[in-house]
Structure 1
Amino acid sequence: MKKYDVFVIGSGMAGMTVANKCASSGLKVGVTDELPFGGTCALRGCDPKKVIIGATEVRDFAMRLKGKGIDTIPDVNWQDVMVFKQSFVDAMPPKIEKGYKHSGIDTYHTSARFLSKNTLMVGTDTVQADKIVIATGSKPRVLDFEGGNLALSSTDFLNLKELPQSLLFIGGGYIAFEFAHIAARFGANVTIVHRGKRPLENFEQDIVNHLIDATKELGIKLVLETEVSKIRKEDNNFLVTGISKGKEITYQTEAVFNSAGRPPVIFDLDLEKANIPFSKKGITVNEYLQSTSNPNVYVGGDAADSRGLPLTPVAVMEGHIVASNIIKGNSKKVNYPPMPSVVFTLPTMAAVGLTEVEAKTQKIDYQVNYNKVGNWFNAERLNVKEYAFKTIIDRKNQSILGAHLIGPNAEETINLFALAIKTKMEVNELRTMIFTYPTLSSDIPHML
């Protein structure tokens, strides 16, 4: 039996943070991951996705300025982009493994499951640890209808050698929209099928409406209130059957992708043997990110049923809190700052803080500023159709409760709103700031 002070299951950003921080404090640490070290973000998510989006941004910008100084719209080459993307992905696992070895961390490349409160079966090894950290992340939801196994995953999309001429995405969340926009800009015929009345349900719907318009303008077919019930293969195509208002509708496509959500990867860990309570949302934790029933176990990232959004920076923050509580004893409670999130479509949609519905539910006395501002200079110089904002302000103390944007540079501008919310900056202070001009951030005072 191998013994450790700390053993980490998962080597994404949360697990990596815990392992490195604990090792640097002199603790004996082991880490395992059944997938290559690096986690979803670096290998199968945000990083490779953003590399691919770069090519579509260039093409989109050129198309908007065609006839306004740009004569030729550049072609995009899927194979070349994928080679460029892969250069980032391939470099990550060996770099992480080298760092672990340098820090004296033992590495395993296999699955793990609990045998008791502080004992694991890691591959064929029995491992005992004073503290066990679960940072296993999330994975695509299983589609439990006929032919559900025929749908490809987001990982598969990011590894396509060639882009199919037609693609269908099941689900109306950010993954479906981001990948649909990428595929459409590479020339594919794209359909999104979503079972709900509204896509991107967690975002401010007034702003989502603008993204829906931009998505349709791009030629993407958006099908709502339709639940996919069957997928079957026919020659070189797939037939996807959906039920809408009691009627069956069938769509033909070259490839089907499962973008119907990502549950936590915790259900094969034999958590019951370690007295670890959990739900479909994740493992139940206290304010120290510690299992509520097993003090030997801490949880970080998407595996935890916490108030943290499933975002990489949140996983890193949780990793630091878990490591600190292991090293020093439970001294650091989790306290989430404003968590900005982005849908990396073109136009980009970004949000931080409360939606109007949330502000109303909390019975806050608030005011709303909402406007479509395609006539502002920044929109006109970039020739963008969709540029809009919605800010929610606390009437009593004149601070910002929430900000919701769509348009150029929204992914950067939203960070300034997050800073204003975190520091409880009054609206008038933000209005009277001097911003560099003409930048997208210089529009902030006019959004208040």
Structure 2
Amino acid sequence: MSEPYDLIVIGSGTAAQVAIARVRARGWRVAVIDHRPFGGTCALRGCDPKKMLVSGEEVIDAARRMKSHGVDGDVRIDWPTLMAFKRSFTDPVPDKQARHYLDIGVDAFHGVARFSAPDRIEIEGRELVGRHILIATGASPVPLNIGGEELVSTSDQFLELETLPPRIVIIGGGYIAAEFSHLAARAGAQVTILQRGARLLPQFDETVVGWLMPSFGALGITVHTGLTADSVSQTEEGLIVRATSPNGQLIAVAADLVIHAAGRVPELASLNLAAGDVAVDQGKLRLTPGLQSVSNPRVYAAGDAAGIGPPLTPVSSHDAKVVTANMLDGSNARPNYRGVPSVVFTVPPIAAVGLSEADAHAKGLRFRVNAASVPKWFTARRLNEAIYAYKLVIEKDTGVILGAHLVGPSAEEVINLFALAIRSELTAEALIDTMFAYPTVASDVGYMLA
């Protein structure tokens, strides 16, 4: 017997939680399905647990910088204890989420969800019928298609390590590679990055990434660019990763752990989308501007599964608001990704929002660039931090801030001021005229824009 619902949500992360809260407030009958523990990537396997581990390396880095400047003694990361601290946050999440579903009258199911018809989902031998269906399954690692791929660990597995192996190789050069390499190196591991591209963090401005790169060398991280991983093999001494360059140069790196950090794709493979008449093109859902399936109007998608906006938690929340407005009221809402900030939680962090200089050129805009490395500013000097820099893109005719790219102390917080400015189309003059508390990192914003 089929069970009818106003909305079936596949996935239980940020997008799912926002959507469920909004439709339940209107009295809709809702089912949520996840084949993993309830809570989603951000709370269990992504940004939140990662940031809790970063708390440990921030202390290590601060002590190192302030040694001989009034701070004495050595500190180190106790990996098992730091991991236990992380688990103090993550472990309660699934049960807490399950209780929340019960409290608000949402039927929660564990298992792999599959379409059996355009309006039907099979789950563990049951069939649910949905007036609307939301795909919020998140993303999964892109296949590497190399020999020995089964020996490669995911970022999820790294975040569950009880002990840290002494030799780590990371395949890829984006957010995960940068963040995990900093963390593991500060915890005492020997880290090697194998990046196929010409540089790390290709999503970020090249100049600003260049200012960050000395931090990798200072931590003893070996960075190989222009190398493609070909295979991973097991030996008596551990793992061997082999990689080649475009000109045929071959290298082999020994490791105790190899981490996949080469990108993620929408997690759709298990959904049997063909049975649901849900159109897909090259591994991505075909969606209208309102995040609705072009082939099955009952179906919507949000967050990483939608694959439209940047793969960030605030985007998942924003997508869910768009989707529920369209479901509930027949609105013609569309997502607005203007001014979405992005942060890499290395220490120090790198952050960006809005247009890069290359983007502004491509759009044919008239603009000026304010850029400088400023380790002698008070913000950096009081922390004895050698890396502090900015690059701002400002429209010439209007003074409107188009983009901001930061590296250094509190970049992850200050970028939010620029995000507000870009989303609200504020001018450089408006921020210059703002009276920020002093001395704070935010008070540097006026000097950056002057």
What TM-score do the two structures reach when normalised by structure 2? 0.98
How far 1:302 sits from its partner (Å)? Answer: 0.3
Q: Does 1:227 align with 2:228?
A: yes
Residues 266, 307 of structure 2: 8 Å contact kept: no
How far 1:331 sits from its partner (Å)? Answer: 4.0
The AA in structure 1 aligned to 2:76 is D
Give the 5 Å matches for 1:39-78: 39-78=40-79
The AA in structure 2 aligned to 1:288 is G
- Structure 2: tracts of 5 or more residues without a match: none
Identity %: 41
For 1:158 and 1:14, locate their aligned partners in 2 and report how far apart those are by CA, in whole Å.
22
Q: Does 1:3 align with 2:4?
A: yes
Q: Equivalent residue for 2:275?
A: 273
Please, which of 282, 285, 288 is the counterpart of residue 283 of structure 1? 285
SS in 2 for 1:139: strand
Q: Does 1:183 align with 2:192?
A: no
- 1:237-294, Cα deviation, whole Å (9 max, x unpaired): 1000000121211000111001110111012211122222223463122222111121
Please, which of 250, 255, 259 is the counterpart of residue 257 of structure 1? 259
The AA in structure 1 aligned to 2:131 is D
How far 1:193 sits from its partner (Å)? Answer: 0.3
Q: Does 1:16 align with 2:17?
A: yes
Q: Does 1:341 align with 2:342?
A: yes
- 1:359-416, Cα deviation, whole Å (9 max, x unpaired): 1111111111111001111111111111010000000111110000000000000000
The AA in structure 2 aligned to 1:130 is R
Residues 24, 103 of structure 1: 8 Å contact kept: no
How far 1:213 sits from its partner (Å)? Answer: 1.7
For 2:272 and 2:84, locate their aligned partners in 1 and report how far apart those are by CA, in whole Å.
39
The AA in structure 1 aligned to 2:243 is G
The AA in structure 1 aligned to 2:328 is I
Give the 5 Å matches for 1:14-413: 14-244=15-245, 245-280=247-282, 282-306=284-308, 308-413=309-414
Q: Which moved more, 1:320-329 or 1:89-98?
A: 320-329
How far 1:30 sits from its partner (Å)? Answer: 0.3
Q: Equivalent residue for 2:433?
A: 432
SS in 2 for 1:420: helix
* Moved beyond 3 Å, runs of 4+: none
For 1:392 and 1:23, locate their aligned partners in 2 and report how far apart those are by CA, in whole Å.
43
Residues 31, 108 of structure 2: 8 Å contact kept: yes
SS in 1 for 2:275: helix
CA gap of 1:280–1:37, structure 2 versus 1, over 3 A, is farther
How far 1:172 sits from its partner (Å)? Answer: 0.2
- Structure 1: tracts of 5 or more residues without a match: none
SS in 2 for 1:374: coil
Residues 354, 402 of structure 2: 8 Å contact kept: yes
How far 1:332 sits from its partner (Å)? Answer: 2.4
Q: Equivalent residue for 2:422?
A: 421
The AA in structure 2 aligned to 1:328 is D
CA RMSD, 1 decimal: 1.1
For 1:387 and 1:71, locate their aligned partners in 2 and report how far apart those are by CA, in whole Å.
24
- 1:71-122, Cα deviation, whole Å (9 max, x unpaired): 1132220011111101111111111111111111001001111122111112
- 1:124-181, Cα deviation, whole Å (9 max, x unpaired): 1111111000000001122211101110010111000100011000000010110010
SS in 1 for 2:264: coil
How far 1:330 sits from its partner (Å)? Answer: 2.8
How many residue pairs end up in the alignment?
447
CA gap of 1:23–1:227, structure 2 versus 1, over 3 A, is same
Residues 112, 270 of structure 2: 8 Å contact kept: no
For 2:282 and 2:343, locate their aligned partners in 1 and report how far apart those are by CA, in whole Å.
24
SS in 2 for 1:338: coil
The AA in structure 2 aligned to 1:283 is L
How far 1:15 sits from its partner (Å)? Answer: 1.1
For 2:307 and 2:265, locate their aligned partners in 1 and report how far apart those are by CA, in whole Å.
11
